[in-house]
Amino acid sequence: MIAEAAKHNLLQGCPGELFFWRSRAQSEVDLVVKTGDQLHAYEIKWQPKRIATRAFAGMYAVEVELISSQDFLTSTLWAVWK
């Protein structure tokens, strides 16, 4: 999923910066896309399940979207580059 996002970003002319985020307490977010001054955050799981993303949301005031194998094509990730 990360490789597909990186490939899509490259094909779009690299408008977004791609990051992985982890706090000192080991909370993590799998993919953070920064386009201009906007952040979009994604947690990627095979099965849809509850995720704990309060640390990132509290620090950056950005909700983390869950992407699972059932909805990866319809997630908002692909709209970030439009």
Count of domains forming the chain: 1
Q: How far apart are CA 56 and CA 62, in angstroms?
A: 7
Beta bridge partners of 19: 32
**Domain membership of residue 36 as a residue range:** 2-81
Q: What's the predicted TM-score (pTM) here? A: 0.83
Q: What is the pLDDT of residues 38-63, one digit of tens each?
A: 999 999 888 877 777 889 999 999 99
- 73, two tokens: 């094509």
The 10s digit of each residue's pLDDT in 61-81 is 999 998 888 887 778 787 776
Q: What's 76's domain CATH number?
A: 3.40.1350
Sheet holding 38-44, edge to edge: 17-22, 28-35, 38-44, 64-67
pLDDT of 74: 76
Asked if 67 and 43 count as a contact pair (C-beta separation under 8 A), the reply is yes
- 3-state percent breakdown (helix, strand, coil) of the chain, nearest 5: 30, 30, 40
